[in-house]
Chain A
Amino acid sequence: MNRAREMFVDVAAPCVVALLFLTGWEWIVRAQNIPPYILPGPILIAQTLWTDGPSLMNSLWVTLRTTLAALASATVLGLALAVALAQSRLIERSLYPYLVILQVTPIVSIAPLIIIWVNDVFLSLLVCAWLVAFFPIVANTTLGLNSIDRGHGDLFRLYRASRWQRLMHLRLPTALPYFLAGVRISGGLALIGAVVAEFVAGSGGAESGLAFRILEAGYRLQIPRLFAALLLLSLAGILIHAVLGFITRRILRGWHESAVSDGR
């Protein structure tokens, strides 16, 4: 009973806020007679989303494809790099500064270079998005690999575990929650990276993503369409976040503090 009520509040309260916000927005637009090319009302945006939906969905898929490919490659390469870094202090110390430099250099400033160097459009966007997304996974997983419990370390030493056994049965499982947290951060960043890269690349045609649609709609003063594209982009981000959160909780369920429900 209490639990059901709590869930109802969790869903209902944000919905009420959204309803109030949208109503207020629509009311101001109508009362002040604001033209749609300055600020369209939510009803007009919904209509535009309905009519322009099919063409925008195509672009959404293009952006999502880049995002997911970047996230997947960031996950695989990030994990591999973290394991390599964790093999010795020397490797970590020699490489880590360059990873930081790569991370702090704004992607907008190196995206034009990457787009020139990499011939294929999809590949160049992928590289940009990957550059933004992979660092949190490397940083988090490296931290996790180095966070083994001292007692566990003694235990593995007592039973003369090999380097490989230590990695597989102790360090990687210990790093799993850190790694998953990194993947969750990277999910959002991969989308941002893909969008930024699309902005810079600015390629038109059938293969253009949502970011280009936003630019295009802005140039043409199709502001309702711009808002519709923006809405789709936000929804995609929320979806990625929710799915990764769900996967994280499923994997860590039962043993990690972050994923154990209070009921137990």
Chain B
Amino acid sequence: MSTLLRLDGVGKRFANGTQALDGIDLAVAPGEFVSLVGPSGCGKSTLLRLVSGLDNPSTGTIAWDGGEPGQSDIGFVFQDATLLPWATLFDNVYLPLKLGGVSRAAARPRIEEALVLVGLADAAKLLPREASGGMRMRVSIARALVTRPKILLLDEPFAALDEITRFKLNDDLLRLWRDQNWTVLFVTHSVFESVYLSTRVVVMSPGPGRITADAPIRFMDPRNADLRTSSDFATLCREVSAHLARAMAA
């Protein structure tokens, strides 16, 4: 199996002496949807920051298939939408391309495509504060997609949204992933969300953050609301929850 990304013995110690991560080995294949689940403080967000290059690991290596990622190879959806409040939704999606030196005219078709993908084609001219929380998160996803990244990193993107909006965005994300053939690394603290979305769930434990379980999730497509109430789904959730309970007890 080919890998897109390989972490070998990655550890992170912060300047204040906190050991956030220790001995992380993880390989991600192209097209995988990997969820990182764990209690708060287990370093899952830190792991995402290391993969994105926003922070550097203290120990170990992060290797990419085909060399170091370029300016447009990583899409990152943060916990908050982090939209620029003074720019329209269109200009917010344009930002990564603008920083990459793409002219507005040349970027327009790609921005419009990204806005259509997240269902916001008609809202391009709004300012962020005129949009709802769910819309802002969609814009944030569109912004991460617009560069056509090799990998999409999502850091608890839906944690602040209500359940109905979250389910809707989960389904949208699944549809996009299936249609576009992306590789996704998804951080969440929700077992249900991770089982519903992923092809693989990685469970982490805190103090320092380590990987304690790595479980494949094999469901038939399409995943939909029926799956959420099926007994297979319940069984898997119970398994992952048990891993998580062990991780927290450790």
A binding-site residues for B, Cβ under 8 Å: 149, 151-152, 154-161, 165, 169-170, 173, 176, 254-256, 260, 264
Contact = CB atoms under 8 A, between A and B. Distances in A.
A173 B86 contact: yes
Interface SS majority for chain B: loop
Interface stretch (B75-83, B103-111, B115-123, B220-228): B75-83
B232 interface: no
Given A151-B82, A169-B95, A176-B86, A159 B127 contact: no
B80 A158 contact: no
Interface residues of B, number: 23
A165 B78 CA distance: 21
A161 B85 contact: no
Nearest to A257: B129
B128 A255 contact: yes
B207 interface: no
Nearest to B97: A159
Interface in B43-82: 52-54, 71-72, 74, 76, 78, 80, 82
Contacts of A255: 85-86, 127-129
Contacts of B216: none
Contact of A158 (B74, B87, B130): B74
Given A151-B80, A155-B95, A264 B130 contact: yes
Given A155-B82, A176-B86, A254 B99 contact: no
B98 interface: yes
Contacts of B87: 173
Contacts of B85: 255-256
B205 to A, nearest CB: 26
Contact of B84 (A154, A158, A161, A173): A173
Given A254-B127, A260-B129, A159 B86 contact: no
A180 to B, nearest CB: 12
Nearest to A177: B86
Nearest to A253: B127
Complex A-B, nearest 3 residue pairs according to Cβ-Cβ distance, in ascending order:
A151-B82, A159-B99, A255-B85
Contacts of A169: 84, 95, 98-99
B72 to A, nearest CB: 8
Interface string B205-229: 0000000000000000000000000
B129 A161 contact: no
Interface SS majority for chain A: helix
Given A158-B54, A159-B95, A173-B87, 10 more contacts: A151-B78, A152-B84, A155-B95, A158-B76, A159-B71, A169-B98, A173-B86, A255-B129, A256-B86, A264-B130
B99 A165 contact: yes
A149 B76 contact: no
19 contacts: A151-B80, A151-B82, A152-B84, A154-B78, A155-B76, A155-B78, A158-B52, A159-B71, A159-B72, A159-B95, A159-B96, A159-B99, A169-B99, A173-B87, A254-B129, A255-B85, A255-B127, A256-B86, A260-B129
Contacts of B99: 156, 159-161, 165, 169
Nearest to B129: A255
A206 to B, nearest CB: 47
Name which of B71, B99, B100, B130 has the most chain A CB atoms within 10 A of its CB. Answer: B99
B147 to A, nearest CB: 8
Contacts of B82: 149, 151-152, 154-155
Contacts of A154: 54, 76, 78, 82
A264 B131 CA distance: 11
A161 B84 CA distance: 15
A161 B72 CA distance: 12
A165 B102 CA distance: 13
B87 to A, nearest CB: 8
A173 B128 CA distance: 15
B112 to A, nearest CB: 20
A97 B10 CA distance: 45
A256 B127 CA distance: 11
A156 B71 CA distance: 11
A7 B161 CA distance: 38
Contacts of A260: 129
Contacts of B84: 152, 169-170, 173
